[in-house]
Amino acid sequence: MSSEPLTTTPTESAEKGLLIAVLLLVLMGAGAMLLIS
C-alpha cells in the first residue's frame, strides 16, 4: 500500500517545478536586496 511508484505523477512533477520556481524567486529577491542595500 505504501510502496512508491517508479514513475513520478504529474502532480509531483508540478510540485517540484513550483518548488524550484519559488526557490529561484527567493534567491533573486535576496540578490536584489543585497545589491540595493
Residue 4 has a pLDDT of 63
Query: Does residue 3 carry a pLDDT above 80?
Result: no
**Cell numbers 535576496 label which residue?**
30
33 contact partners, CB below 8 Å, separation of at least 6:
none
Query: Does residue 1 carry a pLDDT above 60?
Result: no
Distance CA 20, CA 27 (A): 10
Residue 2 has a pLDDT of 60
Give the residue, 33 or 2, on which the prediction is more confident: 33
**Predicted TM-score (pTM) of this structure:** 0.59
Query: Does residue 7 carry a pLDDT above 80?
Result: no
